[in-house]
């Protein structure tokens, strides 16, 4: 096997990749939870099928690498199988090990983007700014179709930027400069780690998060984010992912937040990855200890949304909650925002038939496997329409972008928002001058 973690942190403790995949008894209990199996009915697109392919790969008995690559690349890494599996098989991590073993087309370009974000943030900001200018000028689709951006390694980012309904004119750093909720780290009750989604694509989410944290938890501080490394972990190299993780940990340590002040993020994919940092450093005790200390203070912002102090928003009716996969299966805290959202919606909170079903966003999945992604999106929007919802709450950038596109296309009387946006709107309505308050 080429580059890979080789050892995984599983629910049963540290295991070799082979032992982890051998935990799969092929019972099939997970199949109906797997969106790609339900959509296609193909055994190789099921958790059991994918585990079996990786097992054959590890045993050197794989005879059709091309079909295996297709089966593994169509995994959403949603983790639904892991949640229902009685043997706690970590299928998403196993799939990633399989992808690494087969080699990853474009991995060097992904790593180059990751390095750029970490080492040349000003240049990256300039390039993103031009990407959004292209979009405003109606040229984003043309640039993506030309293949030039793919050649430069910005293909997926260009397609994501093209899918964001409204090209942001400012980054979250610009929006947060001078905000009264932010101050020196030494006195902060929390540190805001702006994930790349809110930072580059949806800065309105980051702004709402800081506003809400300030109103409910007191003053905080903005932390540096050189990118968490998830991009390289999923599509590039482990070395690059580790370099980004080390940079994140070093900068968080240097910020000097008081003990007990959480590091807070507002994209469940990114936060889930931050919490999993120790897995990157198995076999490196010094860095593993630092990663564990860092991961222990990481919180998804939805974990800090109590119902107390959140008033009913008369502007929010017929609200439903979509469970982002990395919130439900990655972090196990899908219920965390429910009390606050119930308070916002009052008696108008409704329930989806399948709130846990993946919307098909899944990071770059929507751009790489467009047809399958669209099928999952249509099923999700149909569920939302059946509930006659007017607002959907979702806690991950990928879900927000995907659902915004799907709702505009198939059910335009409904909008999507991050939970902190809804809480911020509710707090603002209570104050006639628009400033957030905390008088419950």
Q: Which residues bind ligand SF4 (CB under 6 A)?
A: 24-30, 33-36, 47-48, 50-51, 75-81, 85, 87, 89, 91-92
Work out how close the CB of 377 gets to ligand SF4 at its nearest, in angstroms, rounded to a whole number: 15
Q: What minimum distance in Å lies between the beta carbon of 360 and ligand SF4?
A: 10
Q: What is the three-class DSSP state of 391?
A: strand
Between 372 and 417, name the residue whose CB sits nearer to ligand SF4: 372
Closest contact distance (angstroms) between CB of 36 and ligand SF4 is 5
Q: How far is the CB of 81 from ligand SF4 (least distance, A)?
A: 3
For residue 27, the minimal CB distance to ligand SF4 (Å) is 4
d(CA 65, CA 112): 26
Closer CB to ligand SF4, 92 or 436, in the complex: 92
Contact present, 318 and 301 (Cβ < 8 Å): no
Q: List, as one string, the DSSP characters of 43-76.
A: GGGSHHHHHHHHHHHHTT--S-HHHHHHHHHT--
Strands 415-417 and 391-393, by their bridges, are parallel
- Residues 180, 248, 215, CA angle at the centre, nearest 5°? 25
Q: How many residues does the chain have?
A: 440
Torsion angle defined by CA atoms of residues 230, 174, 322 and 401, in that order, rounded to the nearest 10 degrees:
-70
Q: Which is nearer to ligand SF4, 44 or 420 (CB)?
A: 44
Considering only the C-alpha atoms of the chain, give the largest distance between any 2 of them, rounded to a whole number of Å. 68
Q: Phi-psi bin for 16: left (phi > 0), alpha (psi -120 to 50), beta? A: beta
Give 43 or 150: the residue with its C-beta nearer to ligand SF4: 43
Which residue, 111 or 383, is less far from ligand SF4 as judged by CB? Answer: 383
Q: Between 24 and 128, whose beta carbon lies closer to ligand SF4?
A: 24
Strand pairing class (13-16; 191-193): unpaired
Q: How far is CA 427 from the centre of its chain?
A: 26
Residue 388: CB atoms within 10 A of its CB come to 12
User: How far is residue 228's CA from residue 247's CA, in Å, rounded to a whole number?
Assistant: 8
User: Distance (Å, rounded) from C-alpha 167 to C-alpha 296?
Assistant: 35
* Nearest distance in Å: CB 375, ligand SF4: 13
Q: How far is the CB of 358 from ligand SF4 (least distance, A)?
A: 7
| CB of 271 vs ligand SF4, minimal distance in Å | 18
User: For the CA atoms of 412, 269, 342, 430, what is the dihedral angle to 10 degrees?
Assistant: -80
In whole angstroms, give the CA distance from residue 58 to residue 104.
17
**Min CB(93)–ligand SF4 separation in Å:** 10
Q: 10 or 114, CB closer to ligand SF4?
A: 10
Helices 419-430 and 203-217 cross at an angle (nearest 10°) of 60
**CB 131 → ligand SF4: shortest distance, Å?**
29
Cβ distance to ligand SF4 smaller for residue 93 or 266: 93
CA distances, 294 to each of 192, 219, 264, 270, 297 (Å)? 14, 21, 11, 14, 6
10 or 348, CB closer to ligand SF4? 10
**Comparison of 34 and 345: residue with beta carbon closer to ligand SF4:** 34
Per the structure block, which two tokens stand in for 315?
Answer: 């502007």
Measured between alpha carbons, how far is 302 from 248 in angstroms, rounded to an integer?
21
């Amino acid at each position: 096997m080429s580059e890979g973690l080789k050892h995984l942190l599983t629910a049963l403790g540290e295991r070799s990749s082979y032992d982890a995949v051998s935990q799969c008894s092929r019972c099939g209990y997970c199949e109906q939870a797997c969106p790609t199996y339900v959509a296609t009915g193909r055994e190789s697109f099921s958790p059991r099928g994918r585990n079996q392919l990786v097992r054959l790969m590890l045993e050197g008995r794989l005879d059709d690498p091309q079909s295996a690559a297709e089966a593994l690349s169509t995994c959403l890494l949603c983790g639904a199988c892991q949640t229902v599996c009685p043997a706690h098989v970590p299928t998403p991590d196993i799939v990633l090990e399989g992808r690494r073993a087969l080699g990853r087309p474009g991995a060097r370009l992904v790593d180059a983007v990751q390095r750029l974000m970490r080492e040349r943030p000003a240049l990256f900001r300039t390039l993103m700014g031009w990407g959004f200018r292209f979009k405003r000028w109606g040229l984003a689709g043309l640039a993506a179709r030309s293949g030039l951006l793919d050649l430069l390694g910005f293909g997926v980012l260009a397609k994501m930027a093209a899918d964001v309904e409204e090209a942001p004119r400012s980054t979250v750093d610009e929006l947060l400069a001078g905000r009264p909720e932010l101050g020196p780290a030494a006195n902060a009750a929390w540190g805001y780690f702006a994930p790349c989604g809110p930072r580059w694509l949806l800065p309105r989410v980051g702004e709402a998060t800081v506003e809400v944290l300030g109103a409910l938890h007191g003053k905080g501080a903005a932390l540096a984010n050189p990118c968490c490394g998830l991009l390289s972990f999923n599509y590039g190299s482990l070395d690059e992912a580790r370099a980004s993780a080390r940079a994140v940990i070093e900068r968080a340590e240097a910020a000097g937040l008081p003990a007990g002040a959480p590091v807070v993020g507002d994209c469940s994919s990114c936060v889930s990855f931050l919490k999993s940092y120790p897995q990157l450093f198995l076999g490196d005790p010094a860095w593993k200890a630092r990663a564990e200390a860092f991961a222990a203070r990481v919180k998804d912002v939805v974990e800090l949304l109590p119902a107390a102090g959140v008033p009913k928003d008369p502007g929010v009716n017929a609200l439903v909650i979509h469970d982002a996969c990395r919130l439900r299966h990655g972090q196990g805290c899908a219920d965390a925002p429910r009390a606050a959202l119930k308070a916002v919606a009052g008696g108008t909170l409704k329930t989806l038939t399948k709130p846990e079903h993946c919307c098909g966003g899944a990071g770059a999945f929507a751009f790489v496997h467009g047809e399958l992604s669209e099928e999952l999106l249509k099923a999700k929007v149909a569920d939302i329409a059946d509930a006659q919802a007017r607002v959907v709450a979702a806690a991950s950038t990928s879900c927000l972008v995907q659902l915004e596109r799907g709702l505009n296309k198939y059910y335009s009387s409904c909008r999507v928002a991050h939970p902190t946006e809804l809480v911020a709107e509710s707090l603002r309505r209570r104050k006639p001058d628009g400033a957030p308050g905390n008088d419950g």
